[in-house]
Amino acid sequence: MAKHIHIFGDSFSAGFGFRSSLSKVPRKYSPYQTCSWDQNINLFLKDYEVINYAVPGCSNEVSKDSLLQNINSLEKGDIVIFGLTDYYRLSILVDESKKTKIGRYFNLTTAGYLKYLQQKREKKFLGQLHIPNYLATALTYLDISFDVFPALVDYYESFIDDKRFAKQREAYYKKTLEGLISFFGRLDIKMYVWDSTIIGYGENIDEWSNGEYNDLHWSPNGNNFFLGFVLWAIENNQRNLNLNTLRAHRKDIDEYTKFLHLDTYVKHEPLSIPI
């Protein structure tokens, strides 16, 4: 029976950027659709099959809930890779019956709510038409009345977009995941936790394409950077992959990445068709 690698997290764990099942990807970038680290990790860990539960745009609460809901799927010898996103995200459970990754939760994340919040603070709010398009689409798709959206933003402003509470959430999740690492270890299940402090150390798509494809998720090279890091961590039993770990072991990580031939730079060579 094959062992499994269980992946939890947000868009950086889901392979966002080149996978057309997750977002609208320009056709000329189709040759790169299999470049994400989650799709290639079992090329190096050949005895494992990958199960990816990651949800683009989600908060850490969603990732934690997903892990707990699927805990009975974990078996002796399995690997869990859990990606922590930032601590300023809010996810609202809307429909537990939905089976799709996107649809169960309304995720207030990144540019959409920040732009709305800024306009609200500057008293530039113009009503329903002022909501960013993707949030308006999400409200319609999830059958959420626009009337409740300002209340969600008020809640976000008071309790989520506050550094004090974000620090409390950070401490909570780190303590919780440390406990899970220990618990799973007693079951011979190895759990590795990485966080968003290392994201900027991997090249993003916008940089790689010289601004042609405006996406801040990892390029093929960014994905290879992280894949080398996580494989090094598994090889060396380093359970926490964060900025401190990266800085302390950068030379060893780079050498291991080179040993795996993951350091070869992938050039920006999309198909010669309109973007």
pLDDT digits (tens, 9 = 90+) for 96-105: 776 655 567 7
Structure tokens at 242: 């964060």
Tens of pLDDT, residues 7-41? 999 999 999 888 877 878 888 998 999 999 999 99
Tens of pLDDT, residues 71-85? 999 999 999 999 999
Mean pLDDT of 117-141: 62
Tens of pLDDT, residues 45-79? 999 999 999 988 889 999 999 999 999 999 999 99
pTM of this structure = 0.89
Confidence of residue 161 (pLDDT cuts 50, 70, 90): confident
Mean pLDDT of 145-173: 84
Domains, the chain, ranges and CATH? 3-88+166-259 (3.40.50), 102-160 (no CATH)
What confidence score (pLDDT) does residue 244 get?
A: 96
What confidence score (pLDDT) does residue 167 get?
A: 93
Mean pLDDT of 207-232: 95
Residues of 225-250 as b/e, b for ≥16 C-beta within 10 angstroms?
A: bbbbbbbbbbeeebbebbeebbeebe
Q: Is the pLDDT of residue 91 over 70?
A: yes
Query: Which residue would you say has higher pLDDT here, 238 or 23?
Result: 238
Average pLDDT, the chain: 87
What confidence score (pLDDT) does residue 152 get?
A: 76
What confidence score (pLDDT) does residue 148 get?
A: 76
Q: Is the pLDDT of residue 120 over 80?
A: no
Mean pLDDT of 127-150: 67
- Maximum mean pLDDT: which of 49-58, 159-168, 249-258: 249-258
What confidence score (pLDDT) does residue 105 get?
A: 78
What confidence score (pLDDT) does residue 118 get?
A: 62
What confidence score (pLDDT) does residue 23 get?
A: 77
Tens of pLDDT, residues 180-197? 999 999 999 999 999 999
